[in-house]
Amino acid sequence: MKAVVYKAPGKVAVEQVEDPEIQAPTDAVIRITSAGISALDLLLYTDRTAKAAPGMVLGHEVVGVIDRLGPAVATLEDEDRVVLPMNVACGFCINCIKGLNHACLTTNPDKPGAIYGYPDKGSYLGGQAEYIRVPFADFNCVKLPGVPSDQWEDDFLLLSDVFSTGFYAAERALVKPGSTVAVFSAGPIGLMSAYASILKGAIEVYVVDSLQELLDKAKEIGAIPIDYSKSDFVEQIYAWRKNNTNLVHALRTSEAEKMPGVDSGIAADESNSHAINRLAEAVNYAGAVSVAGSVDNLPWKKLSKKGVSVSMGETPVIQYIYNLRNMIIAGQAKPSFIIGKQYTLDEAPLAYDDLVKKKPGHIKVVLKTGLEH
Ligand SMILES: [Zn+2]
């Protein structure tokens, strides 16, 4: 089959690799119709995180159909349409039973937790390919309605990682109906965090970035875009709140002065130390911050002085994916608004290059295998 393989920093290639086989009776092989390129793939591509071994098949965002099933798979049938949560989990270890499926104790011989197409995460081949082997298929394949390439294909694909991760980030930031939220920055996870906050009933969601295309997307979903290249983003949020929301006016002056910021902060995508420090400033006393990207350090002193709760960690996607899938089916969520250009699998090297160069229309890109039937 054809697959996207890592070659060296800044280089991937589309090569013929061996077709995946059923290795255990609980396995399935999926014929992939769409695959995403995620921030994690780009970190590997640009050599900024764990080292990928040359030849590794990348990717953990997958929608497709069941091509073959092991004899012990009980709940799936050939040609069932499925999406894969990025975490490879067993469903029966103690961590999976507790809902910590990102820390499964069965699927990675070296440490807790496994992900498709990522080094040190269980050596599973990735999903930027024509086929993928899925262990414990009853647990790791989430059934979907419809047919490949229908109006839900791209929405369903985002369930594997970013939509679920954005929802988890909002949940960990304690976003509730009526909440005020600030999100830094507006990459795919930031936009999904903002979108999830709105779905959860937040009434003011400030999305902070400097790229106009991303700020326009934030505005499109009803968030308030804040351009940090113009001036300090915290001051902009304070000013916006003070001048534009009746909420602040509903407070007594002394209350408003003590609570000029937001209830929740979400650090997404590429949040550097300065950005996190300012985000901590923007969150009110007794608020909450969740970290959905990678950061080197956090302003612990400032956060602890204000009694802000802090949360981080990989998303146990399976815990959210069924409800989010149902929201898509019911027409209450359409996360694919972040998807721009689509490429064929053969065009993957170009897609990676265009993403790294942040070309317009490349907030999130998708690879289509052309294997609908
Ligand atoms: Zn497990």
The answer to whether residues 5 and 17 touch, using CB atoms and an 8 Å cutoff, is yes
CA of 91 to the centre of ligand 1 (A): 5
**Other CB atoms within 10 Å distance of the CB of residue 274:** 10
CA of 115 to the centre of ligand 1 (A): 12
CA of 92 to the centre of ligand 1 (A): 5
CA of 292 to the centre of ligand 1 (A): 22
The Cα 182–Cα 342 span in angstroms is 30
CA of 121 to the centre of ligand 1 (A): 13
CA of 65 to the centre of ligand 1 (A): 24
Which residues does residue 131 pair with via DSSP β-bridges, in sequence order? 31
* Chain CA centroid to CA 296, Å: 19
28 three-class SS: strand
pLDDT attached to residue 225: 98
Per-residue pLDDT of 252-264, as tens digits, reads 777 878 889 999 9
CA of 359 to the centre of ligand 1 (A): 39
pLDDT attached to residue 373: 59
CA of 57 to the centre of ligand 1 (A): 23
The Cα 317–Cα 337 span in angstroms is 20
CA of 97 to the centre of ligand 1 (A): 7
CA of 105 to the centre of ligand 1 (A): 5
The Cα 203–Cα 86 span in angstroms is 30
Per-residue pLDDT of 91-110, as tens digits, reads 999 999 999 999 999 999 99
CA of 233 to the centre of ligand 1 (A): 42
Q: Give pTM, 2 decimals.
A: 0.95
CA of 94 to the centre of ligand 1 (A): 7
CA of 95 to the centre of ligand 1 (A): 6
pLDDT attached to residue 68: 98
Q: Write the Ramachandran bin of 15: left for phi over 0, alpha for psi from -120 to 50, otherwise beta.
A: beta
CA of 134 to the centre of ligand 1 (A): 14
Torsion of the alpha carbons at 257, 259, 260 and 265, rounded to the nearest 10: 170
> Which burial class, exposed, middle or buried, applies to 78 when counting CB atoms under 10 A from its CB (0-12, 13-18, 19+)?
exposed
CA of 49 to the centre of ligand 1 (A): 25
CA of 196 to the centre of ligand 1 (A): 27
Report residues of the chain scoring pLDDT below 70: 49, 249, 373
CA of 317 to the centre of ligand 1 (A): 13
The Cα 169–Cα 194 span in angstroms is 9
pLDDT attached to residue 46: 87
- Strands 11-16 and 2-8 turn out to be antiparallel
> Which of 90-106 are b and which e, b meaning 16 or more Cβ less than 10 Å from the residue's Cβ?
bbebebbeeebbbbbbb
The Cα 230–Cα 253 span in angstroms is 28
pLDDT attached to residue 178: 93
CA of 137 to the centre of ligand 1 (A): 13
Q: Write the Ramachandran bin of 195: left for phi over 0, alpha for psi from -120 to 50, otherwise beta.
A: alpha
